Structure 1
């Protein structure tokens, strides 16, 4: 366990610090006009959302498609027209369901590249150029981005922890991308795919009919599913880790951040277990990513690993003199401190004053182990955390259980989970047109 942790750390450090993004081509075959941006949203109002739309429009895409819920359609349409009536279209679905919202928009896309974005991101002006640079390689099907937390005027402890979460994630995915192109999840905050992959009827059916343990229909974990689809269908992925492709986003800046962490942990458990043991493609196609990211899901909480390491050192040095034992223990503790600091170095270089909060980060890392264990034993929780107040608005899901629906026996049979009946193929338009709201 100790060897695994620190081999992974050293290799990832070297890979991260030597990473170079795919450069802009001299004669690109794709331009921003080959891009359609899809933004699923519930609320669809406010200055932050307007800023998201404006920064997206500044990159000169072909168009932006917004998908909201029926109850908010008129309000979002009015807002879209006030920003850009000719380059934004608005559609709606009955219930807030990100997968179905995404699928509502996909049949409308006519460009070669589709970009999914959250409704709280701020894009740099050249982000599409750098995303498209990776698609110049014909075997790349999905491209992710670098992400930073939008820093508040008066940062809180929760904001600090959220910023470190994104910093740690950037470190890990840039390292694995550099070594074998692998990444455990292309984050849906902003991610691009070749449109024809997403418009394949097989993809659409799988995307809207994913099940966990044959008992629950998943309406969450959308970005995990698409990432696994890329791997299982032979497409390579890439993350453009550079300032030009660095977006800003928001996370909960209050105790609800803990609930976000719980939700992310459950998603990681479900997706990584599926990748490792049910699908298995990662072992052949992305061996280092499987080792460094997927297997890490099974590692014990940090407080157990660190405690065991200290215990073993004390036992191994019982016959040493006291001074030597203190030196050995001090060296170990220093190494452990460095290992927890090095992934976050980029953040502390940008905000050196945050170094004073490093102990908070370490303590939270130990506490996160508790969250991870609790998430493992609550993967089948149907009523998940309510992280967005707009889930209580008219027309939205009144119960977050819609994120993961327990299936009745007859539904399992209809889904082919307990029956060998052949599955009916559904195209994108047919699926969306029948089960979703209209524009």
Structure 2
């Protein structure tokens, strides 16, 4: 491999072809953008040539390699820059982010919101009562339970009276946790049955029952902040905003042991349950970092999470949208090959793509009030969820990049900081490759302090894994010592996830809703 990287002839040829290929692609994008229904301005079209920068940097790197006596050092520096440039960019824009503030001209309130809650029933869902309590405390106009079966509908109807009674007497767990007073429930409540275990069909079945300006789709494990609607609705301050996403937080679950086991085994079981809960928390917190940074950078987002999303009703009420939503296929090639589908999962990714492809903007509202909390991180369920989310990336990102193509001119920076990297960013591969490159540089080979150099660089890699995860460890410092340092549980999980990512890339056609018993 080092011999290949040292061969300027082959590298120059490959880099030249990369530059030429990207030039042709950008020219096509300019033409494609100008003929679409939502045309960018001429200046925005010309900005598409900025997408040439990555391949031009590759070509420049190759030319430097040709004239440098330690060419592996050049590749090492290029690898480090390639690995971490987007981290630096995202940190910058993370600090630039501003949530939408309350606007006196905003005519939306809780009375303009209808909540659709798709569910397979409250049985086996300890968060159900808290989820419903939080929604009703926020007083939307209507709450629609979109169930999958008659049994689930009956379960919901049976679960509602005690939830309503607890809210009106101030004795719900939700009110106790937040120290809230008793409240009179004013929200109209309806239950509908789609008669099929399919989240997309369940929510579409409820769309005709929405009469308000804003439709909110909520998972039956997402618990809202008491001022959630008040804190989130200002995101619709611009008429161009059609879709709003929020911040996510994971509930720290009790560390479950086994009192009948030996002391050591009981301790291990507590550590094991805490480990998966922490991995789930870090997974969502990393997403918070990404969506906040990219939305501040160019308005982009890889996906508005389906755990809770707010959308203008005029969008979902369109029958063209509903048909496309229920009939999404992957790798469909005309009528001769229908591809894989219809897809049941990926509903939030589809919504995000539909929104930007039809001229709307997306706003991420990151604030204390605009936050949902959810239980996450149980083994083996969480691993199954990671598989589903990873397969979604390999299904949806190529569609957004090469079939829709809107993101190239609408969210140009997000293309390179999120859409491409999420398909190739496997920490195990890149970290090993950087260390391997360092060990083959003349700088390392001729150094009298090889161990210090190696350990110093490894420490740098290790520390970068705190960039996106710091909020959780700041709030739960004990988890830092148990799962990050000195016990490297999270970095090891990140490397395991790299292998999982390779597997899901090879099995992207698996459309099952893994991680949820339907």
Instruction: Specify if TM > 0.5.
Output: yes
Once the 2 structures are TM-superposed, how far is the Cα of residue 321 of structure 1 from its aligned partner?
Answer: 4.0
Question: Given the alignment, which residue of 112, 120, 140 partners 1:61?
Answer: 140
Q: Number of residue pairs matched?
A: 389
Instruction: Answer yes or no: is 1:50 the counterpart of 2:129.
Output: yes
In structure 2, the CA distance between the partners of 1:10 and 1:152, relative to structure 1 (3 Å rule), is same
1:34-433 alignment runs, 5 A limit: 34-45=112-123, 48-68=127-147, 69-84=149-164, 87-154=188-255, 156-214=274-332, 215-216=339-340, 217-317=342-442, 321-356=446-481, 357-358=483-484, 359-381=488-510, 384=512, 386-389=514-517, 391=518
Kept in 1, the 8 Å contact 2:232–2:369? The answer is no
Q: Deviations over 1:323-358 (max 9, x none)?
A: 343443233222211211111111111011111211
Instruction: Answer yes or no: is 1:24 the counterpart of 2:98.
Output: no
Kept in 2, the 8 Å contact 1:81–1:88? The answer is no
TM-score relative to the length of structure 2: 0.72
Higher relative contact order (CA closer than 8 Å, sequence separation 6+): 1
- Partner SS, residue 89 of structure 1: strand
Once the 2 structures are TM-superposed, how far is the Cα of residue 81 of structure 1 from its aligned partner?
Answer: 4.8
- Partner SS, residue 65 of structure 1: strand
In structure 2, the CA distance between the partners of 1:95 and 1:340, relative to structure 1 (3 Å rule), is same
- Partner SS, residue 253 of structure 1: coil
Kept in 1, the 8 Å contact 2:387–2:514? The answer is no
- Partner SS, residue 330 of structure 1: helix
Q: Distance in 2 between matches of 1:363 and 1:109?
A: 46
Once the 2 structures are TM-superposed, how far is the Cα of residue 386 of structure 1 from its aligned partner?
Answer: 4.5
Kept in 1, the 8 Å contact 2:127–2:375? The answer is no
Kept in 1, the 8 Å contact 2:243–2:312? The answer is yes
Q: Distance in 2 between matches of 1:4 and 1:128?
A: 40
Kept in 2, the 8 Å contact 1:80–1:89? The answer is no
Q: Deviations over 1:161-218 (max 9, x none)?
A: 0011011111111110111111111001001000001111111111011111122211
In structure 2, the CA distance between the partners of 1:279 and 1:27, relative to structure 1 (3 Å rule), is closer
Kept in 1, the 8 Å contact 2:121–2:155? The answer is no
Once the 2 structures are TM-superposed, how far is the Cα of residue 78 of structure 1 from its aligned partner?
Answer: 3.1
Task: Name the Cα RMSD after superposition.
Answer: 1.8
Kept in 1, the 8 Å contact 2:112–2:213? The answer is yes
Once the 2 structures are TM-superposed, how far is the Cα of residue 373 of structure 1 from its aligned partner?
Answer: 0.7
Q: Structure 1 residues 2-11 or 55-64, which shifts more?
A: 2-11
Q: Distance in 2 between matches of 1:167 and 1:179?
A: 18
Q: Distance in 2 between matches of 1:283 and 1:213?
A: 21
Q: Deviations over 1:27-59 (max 9, x none)?
A: 531111000000000023465212111110111
Once the 2 structures are TM-superposed, how far is the Cα of residue 156 of structure 1 from its aligned partner?
Answer: 1.4
In structure 2, the CA distance between the partners of 1:331 and 1:319, relative to structure 1 (3 Å rule), is closer
Kept in 1, the 8 Å contact 2:253–2:375? The answer is no
> Which structure would you say has the larger Rg?
2
Once the 2 structures are TM-superposed, how far is the Cα of residue 151 of structure 1 from its aligned partner?
Answer: 0.8
Q: Deviations over 1:306-333 (max 9, x none)?
A: 1111111111135754434344323322
Q: Which residue of 1 aligns with 2:84?
A: 6
Q: Which residue of 2 aligns with 1:426?
A: none
Q: Distance in 1 between matches of 2:377 and 2:441?
A: 44
Q: Which residue of 1 aligns with 2:93?
A: 15
Once the 2 structures are TM-superposed, how far is the Cα of residue 374 of structure 1 from its aligned partner?
Answer: 0.4
TM-score relative to the length of structure 1: 0.85
5+ residue gaps, structure 1 = 392-439
Q: Distance in 1 between matches of 2:331 and 2:480?
A: 43
